[in-house]
Amino acid sequence: MTRTALTRQTGLDLPAPPSRVVPTVAAIVVGAVIVAATAGMGIDWSKLLDLPRAIGEYGALMFADPAWDKLPRALFEMWRSISMAWLGAIGCVVLSIPLGMLAAHDVSPAWLRALLRGVFAIIRAVPEVIIALILLTVTGLTPFTGALALAIAGIGTQGKWVYETIESLDASTSEAVRAAGGGRLAVLRWALWPAALPSLMSFALYRFEINIRTSAVLGLVGAGGIGSMLSNYTNYREWSVVGMLLIVVIAATMIIDAVSGALRRRIMEGPRRRGMDRIR
């Protein structure tokens, strides 16, 4: 039944059906962008179809008989990567929390907020590897270079998380402090900071998790850690050693993710009360 016939039958002036022009045009544009991006990559579809066989072949070379004799060195380099990630996370948090708070509304002047948010956006636009390559010319091929690159690169994202967390807080506590005669510093100290602290601690642990993965990538450009060891043995096609290194990286990352995730849940949810499930 058409809309006109239905209107005559019911006597009601029914609204016009929603136009599908915008969704259709958007779908066409997205499809065209995907096709153009795929065509510009020069994909060799024959090699793509051969990918499962290559994965199986190299997987057998790496994991059929891993070189466990290199395990002590791998554990030492993994520890260096973890240290690099931890120092980078600490440096990032120490700098990003005060800067991120200053970038929040009602905390600092508009010109300072705009400046800090612009700096955060610029930092987020530069990958960690590029920052590490720039720092290599100053600090040299050391794990400190990787830690410094992780600290600088994390400020952009961490600072954004901080000011978004501050702006999402309930305004009633801040209004109460202002009503008591407190200024901006008092609001920041007694209203915003206590309410945002659990979320900021959770974000700091999450930053450490991200740095663990990124530190292995930074090692590929000479920043030290297990990434450098992985790059060296990959270049020499020592697949048994590469397989052992991948096992160490995956195991260490999973353990750290599990521990960090448990800590973040404890921070956000608080300690569970014992005996709650008991019948009183």
DSSP-assigned letters across all residues of 153-216 = HHHHHHHHHHHHHHHTS-HHHHHHHHHTT--HHHHIIIIIHHHHHHHHHHHHHHHHHHHHHHHH
Cα–Cα distance list, 51 to 206, 237, 270 (Å): 33, 19, 47
Kind and range of the H or E element at 95? Answer: helix 71-102
Residue 140 maps to a domain: yes
**Is residue 44 a part of any domain in this protein?**
no
Q: Is residue 103 part of a domain?
A: yes
Q: Are 200 and 162 in contact (CB under 8 A)?
A: yes
Is residue 10, in this structure, part of any structural domain at all?
no
> Does any domain span residue 141?
yes
Closest CA to 230 of 249, 212, 213, 211: 249
Query: What's the CATH number where 206 sits?
Result: 1.10.3720.10
pLDDT digits (tens, 9 = 90+) for 181-239: 777 777 777 777 887 888 888 888 888 888 888 887 887 777 778 888 888 888 888 89
Question: What pLDDT digit, counting tens, does each position of 227-254 carry?
Answer: 888 888 888 888 999 999 999 989 988 8
Along the 280 residues of the chain, how does pLDDT read in single tens digits? Answer: 555 655 566 655 556 666 777 888 888 999 888 888 777 777 777 777 777 888 888 888 888 888 899 899 999 989 988 888 899 989 998 999 889 988 888 788 889 999 999 999 999 998 888 888 888 888 777 788 888 888 998 998 899 999 998 888 877 777 777 777 777 777 777 777 887 888 888 888 888 888 888 887 887 777 778 888 888 888 888 899 999 999 998 998 889 888 888 888 887 776 554 444 444 4
Q: How many domains does the chain have?
A: 1
Q: What is the pTM of this model?
A: 0.74
What b-and-e string marks burial along 210-228, b requiring 16 or more CB atoms within 10 Å of the CB? bbbebbbbbbbbbbbbbbb
Is the residue at 178 inside a domain? no
**What is the distance between the alpha carbons of residues 255 and 251, in angstroms, rounded to a whole number?**
6
- Looking at the domain assignment, is residue 12 inside a domain? no
**How high is the pLDDT of residue 263?**
84
* Any domain includes 130: yes
The domain in which residue 100 lies consists of: 67-167+196-269
